[in-house]
Chain A
Amino acid sequence: MRLVDLRDWSVTQQVALLFVVLFGALLLASAAAIVWSLREPEDADADGAWHRERVERDLRALWIAAVVFWLAWMSGPLGATLGFAVFSFLALREYISLAPTRRGDHRSLILAFFFVIPLQYLLVGTRRFDLFSVFIPVYVFLAIPVVSALAGDPERFLERNAKIQWGIMVCVFGLSHAPALLLLDFKGYEGRGAFLVFYLVMVTAAAQLVQELASRWLRRRPLARQIDRDFSARAFGLGVAAAALVGTGLFWITPVDPLRALVMGAVTGGCGTLGEFVMRALKKDAGVRYWGNRSSITGGVGLLDRVAPLCFAAPVFFHSVRWYFV
């Protein structure tokens, strides 16, 4: 009676239900977090407070992501593309602020900010997915060092260019796959791109939340102590398992069967968690914990922190959906 009726609904109604469920779940999670913070007083041990702060931060990120997702869906292809382009811009701005660049990089950075970002999102918006997939890895990959070499500064040339290229890959190429999913059309699955983004965000978030909690309770030997004291093989495994579970549970919103949804969820969730792990290594190198300027009173943006797992998981998810799972 219940599920059968859902199939008769129009796509718009199904998507509307999706958002109602999403925001309802977030409300519940926030309520639970508030109750938790009331039960555990502030003067609990520093470690616990820090973990709580981290979970709260993830929850806040989920809220922001949900609202952005909703706005992107409401405003259609143009809005989704523009919105994520702005996110790419802000994330790359944060990344470049912490990567030491030299005077000679100025033109390369102008190229990255004012040509690469608009062009990449133009390709997304016009659904040119073949060119979209190779534009940055092939064409920009050459253009950036050429512009940089023309500036005539050989000092730390490889290092500077590698950093810029890496930043573009993460902040522009990776993130642009999220609106691409919204616009991707499969046979018999038209207009349901929002479900794919929802699936992606849910499995990535599940993997991360479970991994956070598992590392809090398990306290296993970390895989790389210098980079993250909490990142253990078991916590990671549990995160992937949670992603697989959530992914299987959500198979009915994807164009694939439960088994494929399970594999897809595990792969995507794992990629997101590993992406955050890599970002942590990067931040250790730069000497910061969050990308935002935490020494300040007003606080920085810290956007890159929040989108990093998505930046890594989205391309893997996009291409695996496109090539292997459908």
Chain B
Amino acid sequence: MSLAALMGLTLAFVARLITGAQGHWKGCPPKAEQRIYFANHQSHFDWVLIWAALPRELRAATRPIAARDYWTATPFRTWLTSEVFNAVYVSRTRSEDEDPLEPLVEALRNGDSLVIFPEGTRSNKGEPQPFKSGLYHLAEQFPQVPLIPAWIDNVQRVMPKGEVVPVPILCTVTFGAPLALAQGEDKRAFLERARDAVIELRPSHPPVSHASSHPNSHPNSHSP
């Protein structure tokens, strides 16, 4: 086993130890096919969490997006993103003649799956911010690739902004039903629909699914 593979397994183990990293496949089964996963973005930990929630066989072909300037700044970061996670690098500074989506398009042409956070930045207000248009352009160019919405829950409590040590708290990743761009669908409408699909997956807090079938339950057993 190579050092990178070992590092990957270790990271997945740590993520599971700290967060549980449970993947809940509500709308689709985990499957070895080309997919674009898109999720809400609340912390630096999000990618590792999704990655650890995936079955091990799917991890190698599922790639994150990494900002080139930050993630290639030191040899360790470069090694981590390129060898361990096989990340797709994008540049944050946009030059005139360059399409920022080009690396993603290339990865999809190769048959890889991608995980993207269409908000573009981390939000910690609960509701995700409006989605950037990249998702729409990818959906337009690759209509055959299923778009899987995902909701990452609780992760902002694991490592709030500005902290370095994560606290062990159970997190879940809920994967929803695949989405596709409808015929002639407007960009704005599609992005709104995609965002709603992500929000819809948010588990109700607290989990009360079994309370109704339970003789002990009371209508007021839900905490406010």
Contacts and interface: CB of A to CB of B under 8 A. Distances in A.
Nearest to B210: A294
B215 A50 contact: yes
A38 to B, nearest CB: 23
Interface string B204-222: 1011111101111010011
A46 B170 contact: no
Contact of B218 (A97, A103, A226): A226
B20 A288 contact: no
A296 B22 contact: yes
Contacts of B160: 103, 106
B22 A97 contact: no
Contact of A295 (B20, B165, B168, B209): B209
Contact of A293 (B167, B172, B218): B172
A51 B95 CA distance: 66
Interface in B177-224: 203-204, 206-211, 213-216, 218, 221-223
B168 A301 contact: no
Contacts of B25: 297
B154 interface: yes
A294 B209 contact: yes
B159 to A, nearest CB: 8
A97 B26 contact: no
B157 A101 contact: yes
Main secondary structure, interface of B, reads loop
Contacts of A294: 207, 209-210
Given A230-B216, A285-B223, A97 B170 contact: yes
Contacts of B169: 93, 96-97
Given A97-B154, A285-B223, A109 B210 contact: no
B contact residues, range = 20 to 34
B102 interface: no
A287 B218 contact: no
B178 to A, nearest CB: 17
A295 B153 CA distance: 13
Given A103-B160, A230-B216, A301 B206 contact: no
A324 interface: no
A101 to B, nearest CB: 7
Contacts of A97: 154, 169-170
Contacts of B98: none
A228 interface: yes
B206 A106 contact: no
B24 interface: yes
B170 A288 contact: no
B23 A298 contact: yes
B163 interface: yes
Contact of B223 (A47, A89, A287, A289): A287
A230 B25 CA distance: 35
Nearest to B160: A103
A69 B218 CA distance: 37
Nearest to A290: B210
A135 interface: no
A101 B222 CA distance: 18
Nearest to A289: B210
A229 interface: yes
A288 B209 CA distance: 9
A96 B168 CA distance: 8
A221 interface: no
A27 interface: no
Contact of B207 (A47, A110, A285, A293): A293
Please name the 9 residue pairs, one residue from A and one from B, whose CB atoms are nearest each other, closest first: A295-B209, A287-B206, A97-B170, A295-B207, A109-B167, A93-B168, A287-B223, A296-B24, A103-B160
20 contacts: A50-B214, A89-B168, A93-B168, A101-B157, A103-B160, A106-B163, A229-B216, A287-B207, A287-B208, A287-B211, A287-B222, A287-B223, A288-B206, A288-B208, A293-B22, A293-B203, A294-B209, A295-B204, A296-B24, A297-B26
Given A47-B215, A229-B216, A295-B207, 10 more contacts: A93-B20, A97-B154, A98-B206, A103-B160, A287-B221, A294-B207, A294-B210, A295-B209, A295-B210, A296-B22
Interface of A: 46-47, 50, 89, 92-94, 96-98, 101, 103, 106, 109-110, 113-114, 226, 228-230, 284-290, 293-298, 300-301
